[in-house]
Amino acid sequence: MSVVIVFILVIAGISLWWLSHQRLLSKPWLELGVDVIDGTPPSLMPTEKIGLGVFLAVVGCLFALFASAYFMRMELSDWQAMPLPGILWFNTLVLVLSSVALQIAVAASRREQIQTVRLALVTGGLTSLVFLAGQLVAWRQLNATGYLLNANPANSFFYLLTALHGLHIIGGIIGLGRTMAKAWAPAPRPRLPLSVELCAMYWHFLLFIWLAILVLFAGWAAGFVEICRQLLT
């Protein structure tokens, strides 16, 4: 459970940092008035962005728990690591492109270049679909070479984690579709920049999760854990 403990510590750190700015040492019973010195009005960050941030913390927790389970299950004797199909590197590249496209969309929406925004959103959506298709190809390749879902726990984790990650991408594509609807709506589009920004934020996070999954399955994470263990003992 070490991975999830580290994750919880990070969240606790962020929470403590935030709480430390909330005047927890103040004496509210002595303070009177509306605008208390150094008062803590709600953040100026858009509420939707904070909502997405909290949601991403939950998603991060979910994957951290899977990583914990992965490491605990890996220590048992029947574990056989699985070779990664080459297409995963291509998929990774495509997902990076998708993230880059959405970042371009964010920059363009700030400069109100609607044509660029539209192009970047479509690119982001298409590359995501290509990524999903690529993942399916990877599944088929693995199946064809005998790495079945229930043949070994390493395989089971691979299918489970890629499926879950894919489901999150699909959820994101639905959100992206709604953003596109806003981008094609007649001007003015007051809520478009925020929507685009939320999409980009979500995509960057899912890219990060995907890289983490990749590190897990490429065996680099296990090597890293081994080094840490040797340092500790």
Partner 1 sequence: MVEFTPRTTDAIPPAEVPDVELYHPHSWWTTYVFSQDAKVIAIQYSSTAMAIGLVALVLSWLMRLQLAFPGTFDFITPEAYYQFVTMHGMIMVVYLLTALFLGGFGNYLIPLMVGARDMAFPYLNMLSYWIYLAAVLVLVASFFAPGGPTGAGWTLYPPQAILGGTPGGQQAGILIMLFSLILFIIGFTMGGLNYVVTVLQGRARGMTLMRMPLTVWGIFTATVMALLAFPALFVAAVMMLFDRLLGTSFFMPALVEMGEQLSYGGGSPILFQHLFWFFGHPEVYIVALPAFGIVSDLISTHARKNIFGYRMMVWAIVAIGALSFIVWAHHMYVSGMHPYFGFFFATTTLIIAVPTAIKVYNWVLTLWRGDIHLTIPMLFALAFIVTFVNGGLTGLFLGNVVVDVPLSDTMFVVAHFHMVMGVAPILVIFGAIYHWYPKITGRMLNEVMGHFHFWVTFIGAYLIFFPMHYVGLVGVPRRYPELGETAFIPESVHTLNEFITIAALVVGFAQLVFLFNLFWSLKNGREAGGNPWRATTLEWQTPTTPPPHGNWGDRLPVVYRWAYDYSVPGAPQDFIAQNDPWPNKPVVHR
CA count, 13 A, side-chain hemisphere, 198: 25
Smallest gap from Cβ 69 to partner 1, in A, equals: 6
What gap in Å lies between CA 114 and CA 117, rounded to an integer? 5
For partner 1, which is the closer residue by CB, 53 or 219? 53
**Residue 34 interacts with partner 1 (CB under 8 A)?**
yes
Contact set for partner 1, span 139-178 (CB under 8 A): 149-150, 153, 156, 160, 164
Site string for partner 1, 95-124 (x = CB under 8 A): ------------------------------
- 92 Cβ contact partners less than 8 Å away, ≥ 6 residues apart: 210, 211, 214
- Considering only CA atoms, which of 14, 74, 99 is closest in space to residue 50? 14
Q: Which of 28, 86, 146, 190 binds partner 1 (CB under 8 A)?
A: 28
Task: Write out the two tokens for 8.
Answer: 């919880």
Contacting residue, 2, 6, 8, 224, with partner 1 by CB under 8 A: 8
* Unique residue bearing structure tokens 């979500």: 202
**How many residues lie near partner 1 (CB under 8 A)?**
55
Q: What amino acid occupies position 68?
A: S
The amino acid that residue 226 corresponds to is E
Q: Which of 124, 141, 22 is nearest to 86 (CA)?
A: 141
Question: Which residues would be at the binding site for partner 1 (CB under 8 A)?
Answer: 1, 4-5, 8, 11-12, 15, 19, 22-37, 39-44, 47, 50-51, 54-55, 57-58, 61-62, 65-66, 68-69, 72-73, 76-79, 149-150, 153, 156, 160, 164
